[in-house]
């Protein structure tokens, strides 16, 4: 098992918050991520800002735009990972970003530098498995995981490919569309998770649209992990005390999952 897979213990539902590096500024984002870890996050998904985040809804889009205006680059994101490791963070840190900045940085150099910084793996939504051979090989060489997204309208063949190629866990997208808070979970989610479960023994984590402790608990009944991003960013963005808001938000989710 990889370090990421190991974070999905057999007797617990893993919580993976998402937060954008550089929002609302670099140091605050570091402090927020640290607070999430201290509050019980089992893994962290760290967003690398990009000008065209096609999988993300308005809340995350806004956070990435603010981060870009703050001058945050891929190099800064790798610096953030290294800084969190130096601060004692031991849980898996997964960099989530889009392929263009990775290519501009240099794919092999990006993977190598990420490994050196202390990253555990990557989520790149706009890199389909059919075009990921080179990235996958670099990841294997550096001992890092790459996780692919699996939407609910996937064909049986697509499900087979994604479950086979994903390392660490399989990222199940709960709804068709972009990230963002939803009033309710899709009624077909349980059936979707069950169908994928028949194809793999890898952990299954669900993201997109999960925003409340109640929704997280419901997802935890059927999946191995819960991914929450937009609701956390919204809570931080509206708070006078962003770090305190992040800590309380994650604590509430952890209590619901346990």
Each residue's pLDDT tens digit, 62-109: 999 999 999 999 999 999 999 999 999 999 999 999 999 999 999 999
Q: Is the dihedral of CA 37, 40, 45, 47 positive or negative?
A: negative
164 within domain boundaries: no
173 within domain boundaries: no
200 within domain boundaries: no
Q: How much is the pTM? A: 0.94
252 within domain boundaries: yes
Q: Which two tokens stand for residue 249?
A: 């938000």
Residue 203 CB-density burial (10 A; 0-12 exposed, 13-18 middle, 19+ buried): buried
Mean pLDDT, residues 121-146 taken together: 96
3 within domain boundaries: no
221 carries an active-site annotation = no
188 within domain boundaries: no
CA 43 to chain centre: 8
Out of 6, 25, 38, 45, the active site residue is 45
154 within domain boundaries: no
The domain that holds 112 is classified in CATH as: 3.20.20.70
Rounded distance between C-alpha atoms, residue 77 and residue 49, angstroms: 9
Out of 56, 76, 145, 224, the active site residue is 56
Residues of the domain holding 223: 13-148+211-257
- Asked if residue 175 has pLDDT above 90, the reply is no
Domain count, the chain: 1
**Number of C-alpha atoms within 13 angstroms, CB side, residue 258?**
11
Rounded distance between C-alpha atoms, residue 167 and residue 203, angstroms: 10
56 carries an active-site annotation = yes
48 within domain boundaries: yes
């Amino acid at each position: 098992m990889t370090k990421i897979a190991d974070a999905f213990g057999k007797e617990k539902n893993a919580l993976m918050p998402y937060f954008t590096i550089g929002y609302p500024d670099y140091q605050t984002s570091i402090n927020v991520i640290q607070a999430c870890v201290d509050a019980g996050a089992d893994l962290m998904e760290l967003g690398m800002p990009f000008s065209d985040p096609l999988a993300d809804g308005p809340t995350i889009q806004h956070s990435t735009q603010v981060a870009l205006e703050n001058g945050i680059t891929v190099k800064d994101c790798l610096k953030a990972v290294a800084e969190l490791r130096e601060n004692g963070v031991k849980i898996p840190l997964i960099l989530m970003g889009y392929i263009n900045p990775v290519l501009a940085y240099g794919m092999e150099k990006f993977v190598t530098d990420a490994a050196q910084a202390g990253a555990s793996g990557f989520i790149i939504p706009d890199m389909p498995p059919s075009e990921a051979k080179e990235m996958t090989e670099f990841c294997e060489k550096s001992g890092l995981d790459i996780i692919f997204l699996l939407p609910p309208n996937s064909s049986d063949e697509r499900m087979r490919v994604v479950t086979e190629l994903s390392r660490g866990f399989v990222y199940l997208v709960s709804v068709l569309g972009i990230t963002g808070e939803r009033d309710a979970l899709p009624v077909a989610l349980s059936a979707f998770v069950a169908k994928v479960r028949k194809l793999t023994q890898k952990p299954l984590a669900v993201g997109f649209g999960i925003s409340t402790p109640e929704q997280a608990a419901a997802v935890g009944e059927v999946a191995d992990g819960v991914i929450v991003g937009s609701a956390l960013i919204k809570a931080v963005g509206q708070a006078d005390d962003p770090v305190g808001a992040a800590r309380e938000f994650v604590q509430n989710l952890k209590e619901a999952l346990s």
